[in-house]
């Protein structure tokens, strides 16, 4: 009677196992991974034989064939191996073990006999339908009845790995695309104001830290902030030492993205996509369109995470992959992997999102995730390094400082990863709970990973901020200034980066810096164009012609760059800014043409004749030339600051200059009428030169007029004088 009760009890336990596995989500293996396996052996009562899944310490849990993955219609990769032990603890020899499939169907599979070591091995071919398999092994016969153990198998289609890769890379593509949409929408909405904020950074390191964190929090990209800093330093708008606090702040700001991802809003991803798309296609959405794009990107981002999570779900029971994951416990290997992957996709936040997905599936512990985070922080510096290539030494120092700070942080932490993980757990939800089951890991680990990322960057800023001065001197010593050949840069735009075109807020900033550089060249030409009339040196004319060719080459590159930006998806404000820059560079190029094609021939004619202006005529020409040069300087300042007040001041000044030119023209006619010899001899040259100066002053004023038009919300017209 007792023996029959034990048999029924054993079958009842097996039925409970079936019931639990049947309530799992479709496609889930009853046991998620070998690391989380619960012993399913049903021991017999004291004094009875026992049956266990074979375990080999040297080979791991897979030695017994439990939790293996098989393909439909094929034999198992490894046989199911059990060990039978008698009441005396010695192996049972010749004992009969029956194997029965109890899920997804219930039928007998076959039997095997134990050998001299008490082991029995059994293999069978799977069915044609992919499903979790549950196999019951049970002792039978005179050796003993009632001892049994359960095997859990995952049977999949032969092409399951291919579809897993499709889901993984497709989900990653959605994730990165969503992040790009969200980041670009934020940059289009606030890019111009953010550039103004960054360019106004002072030497106060604490203000720089706050500005860097604020700007990066809005545009969701520390790489974008660093690239802007590189361009500002390259243009001379801010000094290298001023950027160090901003760099540390940018690293703090980027942690907001990771904290957002950790909320795990995947269940609501498609709802957010629907809301964002609806707002984006509104006929008169205005600002709602930008908000809609931000929501659309956010929803696609989380949906991509869901796709990746579902795709990687089978890996939780795939032992070869689990064996490879164990190698990530090596911190050096993990740091290198994180660095390479983040550099390849140009986003540390995206890589950290992938790490979170792995952790949600129970494939990574916090201790294994932290080295990957450290590598991601180093990998994100690659974008700034690439942006600094081919730039000036101060710009390269920005990228070097960014990389140096990150490497220093990694070196300080790499030896304390377990302690750091314990600290993160203690301040994260769960009160230090060490996650051991998939549900707890999916709930706790993403936030713990996000907190680890935040703590690392905040601590790095706190440690390094007091020593930014020392860091600036050290980097400057490593990358000292050296003279650059002027010929290296004469015909090539120094600041235009084709990779930044897809981020219009940054590309427009680079274009503006390049236009200011061209404006400086043209202003220098304007200042020097009077010298040939005074020094009578033909060599000066050749130099002016060479500089005009350089301006033409740069104007072509800038125009092509702005046209490429105009093909991107722009806000109304950004579109007006493109038109403004096209107009400004056209005006500068027009001034250079006036110098080369009109003033230079006049100077050559005067040199050939050997004539001179009269004293009064020379004074008038020199005075009007100074006025023209001042108007050009005002145009550069107005364009740099986008100042409506300065633009209005330029317009009032131009009215005075036109009146002055009329007065000087009248004075010249009076001298000609009075038969002043020099005035009569140079009358044609004098009048044409004054007209050239008027054209140059008017072109400068057109820049101010265009800025007034743009600030009023209109498009820049063709303002030819």
- Digit-coded pLDDT (tens) for 477-528: 888 866 544 444 456 777 777 767 777 777 887 888 889 889 999 999 999 8
**679 and 586, same domain (yes or no):** yes
Q: Do the Cβ atoms of 242 and 197 come closer than 8 Å?
A: no
334 with 267, same domain: the answer is yes
Is this structure's pTM higher than 0.75? no
Q: Are residues 149 and 172 in the same domain?
A: no
Our CA angle for 26, 31, 36, nearest 5°, is 140
Q: CA–CA separation, 630 vs 678, rounded Å?
A: 28
Per-residue confidence (pLDDT) for residue 587, from 0 to 100: 93
Structural domain harbouring 356: 162-478
Which tokens belong to 643? 């100042």
User: Among positive and negative, which fits the CA dihedral 678, 684, 687, 690?
Assistant: negative
Distance CA 326, CA 303 (A): 28
Residue that finishes a domain, picked among 105, 125, 158: 158
Which of these three, 127, 158, 189, is where a domain ends? 158
pLDDT digit string, tens, across residues 368-424: 889 988 988 888 787 667 766 666 677 678 878 888 888 999 999 988 888 998 899
Pairing of strands 148-156, 131-140: antiparallel
Same domain, 125 and 230: no
- Joined together, the tokens standing for residue 529 give 């164009």
Total number of domains constituting the chain: 3
Q: Which residues contact 588 (CB under 8 A, 6 or more apart)?
A: 515, 518, 519, 522, 551, 555, 699
Q: What is the pLDDT of residue 487?
A: 46
The answer to whether residues 272 and 352 belong to one domain is yes
Q: What is the pLDDT of residue 582?
A: 93
First to last CA, the chain: 113
**Would you state the pLDDT for residue 325?**
61
pLDDT of residue 16: 36
> Does residue 488 belong to any structural domain of this protein?
no
The residues of the chain scoring below 70 in pLDDT are 1-47, 56-63, 141-145, 183, 186-203, 219-221, 223-224, 227, 230-231, 234-237, 283-286, 313, 315-329, 383-384, 387-392, 395, 430-442, 481-491, 499, 713-721
Of the three residues 103, 129, 158, the one that is the final residue of a domain is: 158
If we measure between CA atoms, which residue out of 204, 222, 201 comes closest to residue 213?
222
State whether 202 and 333 are in the same domain.
yes
Q: Are residues 111 and 182 in the same domain?
A: no
User: Are the C-beta atoms of residues 397 and 372 closer than 8 Å to each other?
Assistant: no
- Rounded to 5°, angle at Cα 34 from 20 and 135: 50
Residue 172 and residue 74 in one domain: no
Other CB atoms within 10 Å distance of the CB of residue 520: 14
Collapsing DSSP to helix, strand or coil, 712 comes out as coil
Q: What is the CATH number of the domain that holds 123?
A: 2.60.40.10
Pull the structure tokens for residue 622.
């020199």
Element at 520 (helix H, strand E):
helix 504-528
Same-domain status, 143 and 167: no
Residue 457 sits in the same domain as residue 569: no
Structure tokens belonging to residue 603: 């100077």
Residue 491 maps to a domain: no
The single residue listed with the structure tokens 């060990």 is 83
**Are 135 and 111 in a shared domain?**
yes
What is the Cα–Cα distance from 259 to 684, expressed in whole angstroms?
A: 73
Q: Tell me, what's the pLDDT at 226?
A: 72
Q: What is the pLDDT of residue 377?
A: 87
| Strand residues in 429-475 grouped as ranges (E) | none
Q: For the domain that residue 538 is a member of, what is the CATH number?
A: 1.20.58.220
């Amino acid at each position: 009677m007792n023996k029959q009760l034990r048999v029924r009890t054993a079958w009842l336990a097996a039925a409970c196992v079936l019931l639990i596995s049947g309530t799992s989500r479709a496609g889930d293996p009853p046991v998620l991974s070998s690391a989380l396996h619960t012993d399913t052996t049903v021991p017999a009562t004291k004094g009875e034989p026992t049956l266990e899944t074979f375990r080999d310490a040297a080979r791991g849990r897979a030695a017994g064939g439990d939790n293996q993955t098989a393909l439909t219609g094929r034999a198992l990769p490894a046989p199911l191996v059990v060990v039978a032990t008698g009441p005396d603890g010695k192996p049972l020899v010749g004992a009969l073990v029956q194997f029965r499939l109890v899920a997804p169907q219930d039928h007998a599979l076959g039997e095997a006999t134990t050998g001299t070591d008490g082991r029995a091995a059994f293999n069978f071919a799977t069915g044609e339908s992919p499903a979790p398999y549950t196999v019951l092994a049970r002792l039978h016969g005179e050796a003993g009845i009632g001892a049994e153990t359960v095997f859990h198998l995952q049977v999949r289609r032969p092409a399951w790995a291919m579809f897993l890769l499709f889901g993984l890379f497709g989900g990653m593509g959605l994730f990165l695309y969503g992040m790009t949409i969200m980041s670009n929408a934020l940059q289009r909405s606030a890019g111009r104001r953010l550039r103004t904020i960054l360019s106004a950074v002072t030497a106060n390191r604490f203000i720089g830290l706050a500005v860097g964190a604020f700007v990066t929090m809005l545009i969701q990209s520390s790489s974008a902030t660093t690239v802007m800093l590189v361009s500002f330093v390259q243009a001379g708008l801010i000094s290298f030492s001023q950027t160090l606090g901003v760099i540390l702040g940018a690293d703090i700001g980027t942690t907001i993205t990771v904290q957002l991802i950790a909320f795990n809003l995947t269940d609501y991803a498609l709802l957010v996509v629907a809301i964002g798309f609806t707002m984006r296609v509104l006929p008169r959405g205005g600002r709602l369109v930008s908000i809609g794009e931000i929501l659309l990107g956010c929803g696609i981002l989380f949906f991509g995470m869901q796709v990746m999570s579902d795709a990687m779900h089978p890996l939780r029971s795939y032992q070869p992959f689990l064996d490879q994951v164990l190698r990530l416990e090596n911190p050096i290997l993990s740091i290198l992997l994180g660095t390479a992957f983040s550099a390849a996709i140009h986003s540390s936040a995206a890589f950290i999102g992938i790490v979170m997905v792995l952790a949600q599936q129970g494939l990574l512990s916090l201790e294994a995730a932290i080295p990957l985070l450290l590598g991601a922080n180093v990998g994100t510096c690659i974008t700034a390094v690439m942006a600094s290539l081919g730039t000036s030494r101060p710009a390269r120092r920005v990228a070097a400082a960014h990389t140096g700070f990150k490497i220093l942080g990694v070196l300080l932490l790499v030896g304390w990863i377990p302690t750091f993980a314990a600290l993160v757990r203690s301040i994260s939800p769960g009160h230090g709970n060490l996650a051991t089951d998939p549900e707890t890991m999916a709930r706790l680990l993403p936030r713990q990973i996000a907190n680890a990322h935040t703590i690392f960057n905040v601590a790095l800023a706190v440690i390094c901020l007091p020593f930014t001065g020392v860091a600036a001197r050290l980097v400057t010593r490593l990358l000292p200034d050296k003279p650059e050949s002027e010929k290296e840069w004469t015909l090539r735009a120094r600041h235009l980066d084709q990779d930044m075109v897809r981020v219009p807020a940054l590309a427009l900033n680079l274009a503006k810096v390049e236009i200011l550089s061209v404006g400086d060249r043209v202003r220098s030409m304007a200042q020097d164009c009077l010298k040939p009339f005074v020094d009578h040196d033909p060599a000066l004319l050749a130099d002016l012609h060479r500089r005009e060719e350089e301006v033409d080459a740069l104007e072509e590159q800038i125009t092509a760059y702005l046209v490429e930006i105009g093909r991107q998806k722009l806000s109304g404000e950004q579109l007006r800014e493109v038109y403004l820059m096209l107009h400004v560079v056209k005006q500068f190029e027009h001034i250079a043409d006036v110098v080369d094609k009109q003033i230079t021939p006049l100077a050559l004619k005067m040199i050939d004749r050997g004539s001179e202006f009269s004293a009064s005529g020379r004074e008038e020409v020199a005075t009007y030339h100074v006025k023209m040069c001042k108007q050009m300087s005002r145009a550069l300042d107005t364009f740099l600051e986008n100042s409506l007040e300065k633009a209005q001041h330029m317009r009032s000044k131009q009215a005075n200059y036109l009146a002055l030119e009329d007065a000087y023209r009248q004075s010249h006619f009076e001298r000609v009428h009075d038969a002043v010899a020099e005035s009569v001899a140079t009358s044609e040259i004098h009048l044409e030169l004054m007209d050239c100066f008027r054209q140059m002053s008017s072109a400068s004023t057109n820049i101010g007029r265009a800025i007034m038009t743009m600030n009023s919300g209109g498009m820049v017209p063709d303002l030819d004088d």
